[in-house]
Amino acid sequence: MNKTLLSATIAGMFTAGLAMSASAADDAMTAEKEKCYGIAKAGQNSCKAANNSHSCAGQSKVDNDKNDWKLIPKGTCTSQGGSTEAPAS
């Protein structure tokens, strides 16, 4: 019984540590990226559209829709023909 409890506790601590490491890595990755509107190919947007035409990643219907955005490395948006600003409503 004690051995099982100890094993479960260690496994739980290990899992929690992995989850925190992944979260910290995601935060660091996002800090080095920016939203770039108008460059996402159909089905490759990162999240919902600026005009609320859809509410999830991967739902863009056309290439380079000015309302759809994609996370890309900071400082590279305009060189790819996009904008870091959401289009005016």
63 and 84 assigned to the same domain: yes
57 and 26 assigned to the same domain: no
20 and 54 assigned to the same domain: no
Total of domains in the chain: 2
Q: Are 40 and 64 contacting, i.e. CB atoms less than 8 angstroms apart?
A: yes
Q: Are 86 and 37 contacting, i.e. CB atoms less than 8 angstroms apart?
A: yes
45 and 76 assigned to the same domain: yes
Distances (CA, A) of 77 to 15, 25, 28, 88: 36, 22, 19, 18
Question: Which residues span the domain enclosing 27?
Answer: 1-31
Please tell me whether the overall predicted TM-score, pTM, comes out greater than 0.75 for this model: no
**CA-only gyration radius of the chain, Å:** 19
pLDDT at site 3: 72
16 and 46 assigned to the same domain: no
27 and 12 assigned to the same domain: yes
Q: Which two tokens stand for residue 16?
A: 């929690």
| Mean pLDDT per 10-residue interval, the chain, length 89 residues | 62 54 54 94 95 93 96 96 92
